[in-house]
Structure 1
Amino acid sequence: MVETESDEILRNADTEDVSLLVVGDPYGATTHTDIVLRARALGIPTRIVHNASIMNAVGACGLQLYNFGQTVSLVFFTDSWRPDSFYDRIRENADLGMHTLVLLDIKVKEQSEENLARGRKIYEPPRYMSIPQAVSQLVEVEDSLKAGTLAPESTLAIALSRVGGGPDERIVAGTLAELLAQPPEVYGEPLHSLIVVGKRLHHLEVEYAERFAVNRETWRDVAGRVYGCALD
């Protein structure tokens, strides 16, 4: 509705109060910015109440927010569509030593091509990309491009699930190869996000995230040997 029926959201908003409650921060998506612009064009006053978002909650893993570069989205691969444009953004961040927050795909209220073509409002079951699937897709693209940015054995990453301080929050750190080898239940319930760790890695970031590591010795070894992080 937010994407296709924004006019309905704004209907009567010039004479009564209308609220739109979103997951994350309202300005975390261009769709919400578009609604604000539409309201302003109609002379409708707006007020934004900011909210917790994965964009700042990722700090729970110990990586400093000012060391993050561009955020990228990773979509579900299909048999005929396997886009790799995200790789360039990760590589640009990596060249600067910056961490990359990877937002994993969500499929909710999606229609099959057949139902869409026939105009039938029948929706597919919700799907949420998991950490193993995300890492598998990253490794697949690395195998194809062979650029070295996401080498599985020497690239550190941190998986996050339901970040927000609740009892079901999960954080798991390791190399991409280690994360791929973990059983799905290790990562908890969705929503999941993934961080590709950049080379501008501070020893305090290493030490903080170490408590979440699949293997602490491997985590410290790669951080020191590959990332050049000076550790005691």
Structure 2
Amino acid sequence: MIYIIGTGLHSYKDLSLRSIEILKKANKIYFENYTSIQQVPISLLQEYLNKPIIICNRDEIESEDFFFLEASNSLIVILVAGSPMFATTHIGLLIKGKEMNIPVEIIHNASILNVYGCLGLYSYHHGKTVSIPYFTQEWKPRSFFDNILKNIEAGLHTLCLLDIKVEEERFMTVNEALSQILSLENEIVNENYKIFAVCRFGSPNQVIKYDKIKNLIKEDFGKPLHSLVIPGKMDTIEKEMVGELFK
């Protein structure tokens, strides 16, 4: 059997009691660390359980046979930062489990999608989530920005996930993302547009600010992970809630 367990947004202490019980019984535990990172080192969970946790990379996750060979006669756990099914990466494991008749169960946890309510925005009032990649000299895609504009046109809010390069220990900052957005030169999302900067969401030292881009781009938001929420049209209640939260 395989369990895919979300670790939440901050540390192993965000795991559910059921998750801890399963981890204690597991024959082998893996931690996938390329779609996100944990704010608190996963080694602390290893110490708590007194069991080794194997860090696995993208190639290992995507070569699904690797896990199912072991799961045919063992209890395997794959830990994922945040919530397991937020990214589409792990759907392949569900499909493979059905093909091989090996049970795969998901245990969910909090993800960055929980941010909307904390901003005073309706959680059902958002459009397509976008990922902002690092630009290079030769490659400056604007498809993510086109989706932001489509969301705004439809009156919807946009969650922007910022690029991470875990193996290089590079994590895009609010400042880098805003610099790239401004470089695309648009009359709607310009330096006077007010957005939310969200940093280390779900941790005790989270930072959330709502301001014009020209002001946010000058600030130091500290350690990763960073993300943005670009609001579309806020209704009266949303405006009131945002106004109260970010006076």
Structure 1 Cα separation of the partners of residues 112 and 139 of structure 2:
27
Map of 2:67 onto structure 1? 9
Map of 1:162 onto structure 2? 200
Change in Cα spacing, 1:58 to 1:2, as seen in structure 2 (3 Å) is farther
- CA-CA distance at 1:78 after TM superposition: 1.3
Map of 1:138 onto structure 2? 181
- CA-CA distance at 1:81 after TM superposition: 1.4
Q: What letter is aligned with 2:59?
A: T
Map of 1:88 onto structure 2? 146
2:224 aligned with 1:209, yes or no?
A: no
Q: Which residue of 154, 170, 186 corresponds with 1:127?
A: 170
CA RMSD of aligned residues (A): 1.7
Q: What letter is aligned with 2:235?
A: H
Higher relative contact order (CA 8 A, sep 6+): 2
Map of 1:175 onto structure 2? 212
2:233 aligned with 1:196, yes or no?
A: no
**SS of residue in 2 equivalent to 1:21:** strand
Structure 1 Cα separation of the partners of residues 163 and 69 of structure 2:
30
Q: Return 5+ residue gaps in structure 2 as ranges.
A: 1-55
Structure 2 Cα separation of the partners of residues 2 and 45 of structure 1:
22
Q: Which residue of 115, 121, 136 corresponds with 1:63?
A: 121
Deviations 1:144-193 (CA, angstroms, capped at 9, x unpaired): xx3x331221x2200111111x3201101012222113x21xx2321111
Structure 1 Cα separation of the partners of residues 224 and 232 of structure 2:
24
Q: Report if aligned partners of 1:100, 1:196 keep a CA contact under 8 Å in 2.
A: yes
Q: What letter is aligned with 1:3?
A: R
**SS of residue in 2 equivalent to 1:174:** strand
Map of 2:108 onto structure 1? 50
The 4+ residue runs of structure 1 with deviation greater than 6 A are none
Q: What TM-score results when the alignment is normalised by the length of structure 1?
A: 0.76
Change in Cα spacing, 1:47 to 1:28, as seen in structure 2 (3 Å) is same
Q: Report if aligned partners of 1:170, 1:188 keep a CA contact under 8 Å in 2.
A: no
Q: Which residue of 96, 103, 123 corresponds with 1:38?
A: 96
**SS of residue in 1 equivalent to 2:76:** coil
- CA-CA distance at 1:99 after TM superposition: 0.4
Map of 1:113 onto structure 2? none
Structure 2 Cα separation of the partners of residues 168 and 22 of structure 1:
21
Would you tell me which structure has more strand in proportion to its own residues? Answer: 2
- CA-CA distance at 1:211 after TM superposition: 5.3
